[in-house]
A = this chain, B = another copy of it.
Amino acid sequence: MKRLKRGRISIVTQSGSFAEMIVDELASEGIGVARIVSYGNRVDVGETDCLDFLVDDDATKVVVLYMESVDDGRRFVEVASRCTKRKPVVALKVGKREAGVHAARSHTGAISGRYEIYKAAFKKAGIIEVDGYEGLKDACKVLNSYDLVAGKKVLIVTDGGGVAVTMADACEDLGLDVTGLTEETRKRLSAKLPGYTATGNPIDLTSSVTDEDYVIALEEGLREEYDIIIVIVLWGPPEITERLVNKLKEIRDIYNKPILICSPGGKFTRRMAKHFEEKRGLPVFFTPESAARAAAVLAGGKM
């Protein structure tokens, strides 16, 4: 296993193998961890004790929970509510349905209880719930780079049409807001970009895209109030270059808005992702759905 870096995320889990698995993934993705606790069968400490410690822990900027059950629901909600006022808390609750509930019972002896009750408790405590392991990974990745945002408006800029339609669907499925640009902005975009550019939201720069087109699209789009930017980069178009990585980082830093990169593809794509992530701190997601899940986490469950 690759050595784990120090980072801002603390992970509290009821499953040892889950701890091992997520740590292995985060290490190989270069995502750092502050603390990790696997409290398993909760013999002496449980989820709420851990959370209570992490509220005031300066090393911990984000808390991620994997739960099969809760020991004392009232105390959990009280402590979690204090924690979420200070830092984001993300939770994956498993053992939702019949087979999962049984599996949790034979795993940690957990009485999972009705899932709907957890859902309500998370909401009350301001905890951001994710739906599965993929959601948890996406949350770790995005919260490794960015803080939560105030709203849920997403601007999508793309060089491929189909993937952008898929992305718009995925965002809306999660309750994100993919409202179009104003007529004024669209006119400005049309004046500066080729006539076949789609100036809605997604802004589709098409496969004739250049690095500079991304800059124009983002500068014009960011005149409006968006909370999260998803930039889709397919590396097929001949006129985009590696310099795009720096340009996107500059825009992110000037406008101070979280930019998530979505870049599905093969080996070249994975290599370019390293430039985005390791050199520029821009998180890359390899499917439209994972970028949308990450955006939903940043929007902090305001959906």
Closest to A176 in B: B99
A sample of 26 cross-chain residue pairs with beta-carbon separation below 8 angstroms, ordered by A number, consists of A1-B266, A1-B267, A15-B160, A17-B160, A17-B163, A18-B166, A20-B160, A20-B234, A21-B163, A24-B236, A24-B268, A24-B269, A28-B265, A68-B162, A94-B166, A95-B165, A98-B172, A98-B178, A102-B201, A103-B164, A103-B165, A103-B168, A106-B204, A108-B161, A133-B264, A133-B288
State the CA gap A107–B167 with chains docked (Å): 13
Contact A160 B200 (CB under 8 A): no
B15 touching A162 by the CB < 8 A rule? yes
A207 at the binding interface (Cβ < 8 Å)? yes
Q: CB of A202 within 8 A of chain B?
A: yes
Question: A204 to B234, Cβ gap below 8 A?
Answer: no
Distance of A225 from chain B, by nearest CB (Å): 16
Within 8 Å of chain B (Cβ to Cβ): is A281? no
Q: What is the interface residue range for chain A against chain B? A: 35 or more
Chief secondary structure at chain A's binding surface: helix
Residues in chain A within 8 A of chain B (CB atoms): 1-2, 13-18, 20-21, 24-25, 27-28, 66, 68, 92, 94-100, 102-104, 106-108, 132-134, 137, 159-166, 168-173, 178-180, 198, 200-202, 204, 207, 234, 236, 264-270, 287-290
A104 to B201, CA, bound (A): 11
On chain B, the residues within 8 Å of A164 by CB distance are 103, 107
Pairwise interchain contact A161-B15, C-beta atoms closer than 8 A: yes
- Chain B CB within 10 A, most for which of A66, A104, A270: A104
Q: Are A165 and B100 in contact (CB under 8 A)?
A: yes
A288 to B200, CA, bound (A): 35
Checking B14, B17, B161 against A17 with a beta-carbon cut-off of 8 angstroms, the contacting residue is B161
